Structure 1
Amino acid sequence: MSVQQLFPPGGQSRALHGLYLNNGLHRLAPENEIFIYANYIASLDGRIATLSDDGHEFVVPASIANPRDWRLYQELAAQSDIMLTSARYFRQQAKGCSQDLLSLGREENSTDLIMWRQQQGLQPQPDVLVISASLDIPPEQLRCLNDRQVLIATCTASDGARRAFFERQGYPVLLAGDVRVDGALLRRKLCERGYRSAYMVAGPEVHHTLLAAGALDALFLTTHLGLLGGEAFHTITYGALLQSTQLQLESLYLDQQPDSSQLFARYAIRYAAAGPEMLALNVVE
């Protein structure tokens, strides 16, 4: 299984397995810092999620989800100390509307990633951080993650009784903002706990929270070369960023298959100088 390197130019075909592991994302952060990266798969017209058949939830369209992209998703997870997600993910899990995005190496063709982490001195599974202003998180879903540390990030305006409940259940609660979760403060809290690499696997609200605060370092984007159309959909972010956020292409690969094609891109994120208005961030549910 191979892909064609398009950028940097002059590249040859590369094996799919190991393509993203070679990035060494867990070793990029300077001392006392953290490298935070996000990943999405989107159609050519920018859809990352569309309404499910029952019209109640937004889900990744089956027409663009595929095992080759999933392998690279897991290679990115393998390089993380901690995975960042939202309360909405666990609510969808409770309804059976979301696949397991947080467990690494469960399929037979990805067990090598557990061994790779051990060779790198990493624990078998990344820790998990749940970002939520509402604290509307089904506790039974958190208990499924008993093989790693689970933390919760919220704001001081959140329900104190709910915060105390989760603390008693063994889930440390990080206060990262007053009435909203502040992406810059969240990043600082992760650094204080010694994390060096974080993989954001949540939806556009969390993505916006990190981007608006200048807290995200890199974006991995798979573009499935098909059009979905439709009027009800999610894209990779929404809401005002209040400044131009520039992406610098670092790598690009073409995955040409008989029945479909897709592009695997890695972008570095470049921010302009942030003003005080940059602190007006989304509430993450």
Structure 2
Amino acid sequence: MQVLLDTLAPADAPRVADPRALTDEDLLALYAPPQQTWLRVNMVSTVDGSATGDSGLSGSINNPADGRVFATLRRLADVVVVGAGTAKAEGYSPTDTPIVLVSRKAQVPESLRGAPAGSVLMATCSLSDGIGEARELLGEEHVLTYGSHRVDLPALKAGLAERGWGHILCEGGPHLLRDLVFQGAADELTATTVPRLVAGSYPRITVGAPLDAHLTLRLLLEDEGTLLGRWFV
């Protein structure tokens, strides 16, 4: 894995010893959040824009290079935010890092029910039909309400930072990425492009009503044709 572009490091102070052979510690430095409160979304897609392969899951298109960056982002994160539908589809299980599910319906995936208290939280809206069940499953103090009819994502971001979880990693899915950008809560898109074409009618990394958001490329890595970028929103 090598650095192709790095506009985050001072011109006279490279952050890595060998930009053509990055170590895991180099990746931690290259992906460090630039400020105390920072929300980034990590997504993977093919060259022709698909967010999944034939399994309908991101695991059908990701590769070892993407896996290295994924592990780096998990190490840097104080908390992982993920749409409840994505957590269900991808079979999420409890980790050492707290997981915050985002769901307007407040639905807790089966794989996360019975998790240790406080390891899984739910972010939902006050008028959600499923809020009562979520409180029974996770504990009332672990169900967070932001907004009435939809989840107020900037308020969620601020609430997590107030808990000391300023380095926020969102792992999708496409609807949540779109909404985070639309509501102005996303600071960064960490996007992997794998060197594959899959055609078909698979989803893109964003789904939902149209938006037009300008991104600035700040870091670009390459590994055997896989491109890994940090795009600031």
Cα pair 1:19 1:72 within 8 Å, conserved: no
Query: Which residue, out of 226, 236, 244, partners 2:205?
Result: 236
Q: CA deviation at 1:265?
A: 0.8
Q: Residue 50 and residue 68 in structure 1: after superposition, are their counterparts in 2 closer, same or farther (change >3 A)?
A: closer
Q: Distance in 2 between matches of 1:194 and 1:61?
A: 31
Structure 1 consecutive aligned stretches of length 4 or more whose deviation exceeds 3 Å? 8-12, 23-27, 99-103
Query: Which residue, out of 29, 48, 60, partners 1:45?
Result: 48
Q: Secondary structure, in 3 states, of the residue corresponding to 2:25?
A: coil
Cα pair 1:252 1:264 within 8 Å, conserved: yes
Query: Which residue, out of 54, 67, 70, partners 1:70?
Result: 67
Q: Distance in 1 between matches of 2:141 and 2:110?
A: 10
Q: Which runs of 5+ in 1 are unaligned?
A: 53-57, 93-97, 104-124, 270-285
Query: Which residue, out of 9, 20, 24, partners 1:17?
Result: 24
Give the equivalent residue in structure 1 for 2:170: 200
Query: Which residue, out of 214, 217, 228, partners 2:187?
Result: 217
Give the equivalent residue in structure 2 for 1:8: 6
Cα pair 1:176 1:189 within 8 Å, conserved: no
Q: Secondary structure, in 3 states, of the residue corresponding to 2:214?
A: strand
Matched, 1:150 2:120: yes
Q: Distance in 2 between matches of 1:60 and 1:91?
A: 13
Cα pair 1:26 1:81 within 8 Å, conserved: no
Cα pair 2:28 2:76 within 8 Å, conserved: yes
Identity in percent: 26
Q: CA deviation at 1:4?
A: 2.5
Cα pair 1:83 1:201 within 8 Å, conserved: yes
How high is the TM-score relative to the length of structure 1? 0.70
Cα pair 2:93 2:111 within 8 Å, conserved: no
Give the equivalent residue in structure 2 for 1:84: 81
Query: Deviation per CA, 1:33-72, whole angstroms, max 9, x where unpaired?
Result: x2101111111011111453xxxxx21263x322221121
After superposition, the CA RMSD in angstroms is 2.5
Q: Secondary structure, in 3 states, of the residue corresponding to 2:72?
A: helix
Q: Secondary structure, in 3 states, of the residue corresponding to 1:89?
A: helix
Give the equivalent residue in structure 1 for 2:221: 253
Query: Deviation per CA, 1:104-148, whole angstroms, max 9, x where unpaired?
Result: xxxxxxxxxxxxxxxxxxxxx22110111112223552334x286
Cα pair 2:125 2:146 within 8 Å, conserved: yes
Q: Distance in 1 between matches of 2:170 and 2:138?
A: 23
Residue type of the alignment partner of 1:8: D
Q: Residue 126 and residue 39 in structure 1: after superposition, are their counterparts in 2 closer, same or farther (change >3 A)?
A: same
Q: Distance in 2 between matches of 1:163 and 1:179?
A: 17
Residue type of the alignment partner of 2:24: H
Q: Secondary structure, in 3 states, of the residue corresponding to 1:126?
A: coil
Q: Distance in 1 between matches of 2:92 and 2:23?
A: 22
Q: Which runs of 5+ in 2 are unaligned?
A: none
Matched, 1:190 2:160: yes
Q: Distance in 2 between matches of 1:196 and 1:59?
A: 28
Give the equivalent residue in structure 2 for 1:59: 57
Q: CA deviation at 1:220?
A: 1.0
What are the within-5 Å matches in structure 2 for residues 263-274 of structure 1?
263-269=227-233
Q: Distance in 1 between matches of 2:93 and 2:138?
A: 24
